[in-house]
A and B are shown apart, each in its own frame.
Chain A
């Protein structure tokens, strides 16, 4: 189904896919640090010629009745590119490695009412600390499809609508939901995938 999804996305987005190989380290503050525990992620992009690092902080999701009405998750996120000593700096500040994983797959970045990114990846765990060359899938045979878009407090409802609307195009092949809401394989998936594979995306689903 992944290959069929790639064909479908290629047709919808009109851009080339980017390869994805990201080592994600989740750090948590040690017990005495901060009045509440805090978590920060360091992402290392291994697809670049030189590994490039980003620090990411994921905050709380918007809550309330308005949030329930929106079919996508809206949450705060702050990011910064950082130079290579960042991991050592956070260790020195009192953060410890809580978990790490390796995402391998591909992504499409395009504009359709918002700056949308669709990534399709397998999530892998490392058998030894930081050993990205020895990673095994957490859920063999399953891939994670994520559709994300940046938004501001002023325009997030429009962005959420653009994301929802885009996801409709993927419906014959897969159903996307808010994180932690299970979906399952859609009944039309096999037929849709076969159709896409046979004529390389010429079919309108």
Chain B
């Protein structure tokens, strides 16, 4: 499977993220002769433990996520990022979780937008919105390099493409920048060969980063 970097938009201090930025990012992809291929979507849901004694709620993970990816329509991914756990399951796992009644889905986020082909690269620029709502919560970007499946081997070319992209973006003077965090995949038991489990881990990592950013903005 081709390797993919998933990046999230970090607004400058005091700035917010809005639809205009998303539109400009999409236009930037098109300005690089990106061929629009269609729409894409990923969904991320937070599961919360149903506890009898609220005082002991902390004995259960608070970062348990369920993720669905458009490129894997029959699969569902479960991640507990803090414990470095990722599981690939069939979509029926959602029904099993529902029948167990031990965890309930609380909040769902949709990542959606347009997809562009740029030579051997595929770019997806997406808004982060709460399911069933309009408000923009963030922006993410997926950068995929089709010829290579090895995370290590692809590093240099991905870095070069990312620099190219940043340079193209700098012309628009947008109030923020894309951040690339590289999870330690081996801690999750994942190998150098890229899979959708790697994608799920990247989304969980971005989620943690976005929450931490939102919390520090709130504190300030």
Instruction: Give residues of chain A (60-84) contacting chain B, Cβ–Cβ below 8 Å.
Output: 76, 78-84
What is the bound-complex CA distance between A40 and B188, given in angstroms?
Answer: 23
Instruction: Give residues of chain A (35-69) contacting chain B, Cβ–Cβ below 8 Å.
Output: 35-36, 38, 40, 55, 57, 59
What is the bound-complex CA distance between A76 and B100, given in angstroms?
Answer: 13
B94: shortest Cβ distance to chain A, in Å? 9
Contact of A80 among B50, B92, B189, B197 (CB under 8 A): B92
Is B15 an interface residue when CB atoms closer than 8 A count as contact? no
Contact of B99 among A33, A57, A84 (CB under 8 A): A57
Contact of B100 among A31, A57, A83, A88 (CB under 8 A): A57
Q: Which residues of A contact B49 (CB under 8 A)?
A: 33, 93-94
Q: Which residues of A contact B78 (CB under 8 A)?
A: 89
Of B57-65, B128-136, B148-156, the one touching chain A: B57-65
Q: Which residues of B contact A89 (CB under 8 A)?
A: 78, 80, 85, 87
Q: Given that A33-B102, A35-B101, A38-B100 are known contacts, is A92 also in contact with B89, CB under 8 Å in the complex?
A: no
What is the bound-complex CA distance between A128 and B95, given in angstroms?
Answer: 33
Interface of B is mostly: mixed
B24: shortest Cβ distance to chain A, in Å? 39
What is the bound-complex CA distance between A78 and B64, given in angstroms?
Answer: 21
Is B182 an interface residue when CB atoms closer than 8 A count as contact? no
Is A85 an interface residue when CB atoms closer than 8 A count as contact? yes
Q: Which residues of B contact A182 (CB under 8 A)?
A: none
B88's closest neighbor in chain A, by CB? A83
Q: How many A residues are at the interface, by size bracket?
A: 20 to 34
What is the bound-complex CA distance between A55 and B49, given in angstroms?
Answer: 19
| B50 x A85 contact (CB < 8 A) | no
Q: Which residues of A contact B90 (CB under 8 A)?
A: 80-82
Is A141 an interface residue when CB atoms closer than 8 A count as contact? no
Which A residues lie at the B interface, using CB under 8 A?
A: 29-36, 38, 40, 55, 57, 59, 76, 78-86, 88-89, 92-95
11 contacts between A and B (CB under 8 A): A29-B100, A34-B102, A35-B52, A80-B92, A83-B89, A84-B189, A85-B85, A85-B87, A92-B83, A94-B49, A94-B59
Which B residues lie at the A interface, using CB under 8 A?
A: 49-53, 56, 59-61, 64, 78, 80, 83, 85-93, 95-96, 99-103, 188-189, 197
